[in-house]
């Protein structure tokens, strides 16, 4: 159970970084909406799980945050990607693509393909 949560948190962090990279500064709700639109049900039930991930990324220096005004004209915390976060995104994207490619190859292989 815990392991699944860790994996989820890892992918979520990558999605946050990519979202901020594409869309620029966003508040928590904006990020959640965007992830929801693209990933479907990952955040459908627990949008709240995003906030510990945002905090972790901020503590690591990958993103920074400051107060701004939301569409409701209320105070909201806006997150943006830092230079370090952009670097981290590049590295993690490569890692992720590599892992995904390896796993995909494993799934593709059938018994008759093996020598």
Partner 1 sequence: MRALRRFLNRVINLARRREQDERLREEIEEHIALQATENLRTGLSPVEARRQAMLKFGGVEAMKQDYRAERGLLFIENLLGDLRNAGRTIRRMPGLAAVIIVSLAIGIGVNTTIFSWIQMILFQPLPGVSGASNFLLVEPRTETGGYPGASWLEYRALRTQVPALRDIVAFQVVPFNVERQARLSGRSGNSSQAIIFLLWG
Binding residues for partner 1, rule: CB under 8 A, are: 27-29, 32, 44-49, 51-52, 55-56, 58-61, 70-72, 74-77
Smallest separation, CB 34 to partner 1 (Å): 13
Nearer to partner 1 among residue 21 and residue 70 (C-beta): 70
Please identify which residue in the block is written with the tokens 């946050």.
16
Instruction: Judge whether 67 and 76 are in contact, CB under 8 Å.
Output: yes
Q: What is the DSSP letter of 48?
A: G
Smallest separation, CB 57 to partner 1 (Å): 10
Nearer to partner 1 among residue 1 and residue 104 (C-beta): 1
Task: Give the orientation angle of helix 2-23 with respect to helix 28-39, to 10 degrees.
Answer: 110
Give the count of beta carbons closer than 10 Å to the beta carbon of residue 64: 15
User: Both tokens of residue 59?
Assistant: 């503590």
Q: Which among 57, 50, 65, 69 is positioned nearest to 12, based on CA atoms?
A: 50
Nearer to partner 1 among residue 37 and residue 101 (C-beta): 37
Smallest separation, CB 98 to partner 1 (Å): 20
Nearer to partner 1 among residue 46 and residue 98 (C-beta): 46
Smallest separation, CB 66 to partner 1 (Å): 11
């Amino acid at each position: 159970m815990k392991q699944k949560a860790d994996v989820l948190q890892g992918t979520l962090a990558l999605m946050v970084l990519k979202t901020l990279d594409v869309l620029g500064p966003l508040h928590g709700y904006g990020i959640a909406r965007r992830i929801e639109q693209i990933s479907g049900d990952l955040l459908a039930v627990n949008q709240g799980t995003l906030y510990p991930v945002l905090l972790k990324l901020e503590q690591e220096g990958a993103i920074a945050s400051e107060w701004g005004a939301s569409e409701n004209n209320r105070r909201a915390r806006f997150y943006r990607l830092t230079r370090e976060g952009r670097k981290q995104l590049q590295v993690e994207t490569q890692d992720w693509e590599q892992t995904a490619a390896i796993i995909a190859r494993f799934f593709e292989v059938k018994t008759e393909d093996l020598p």
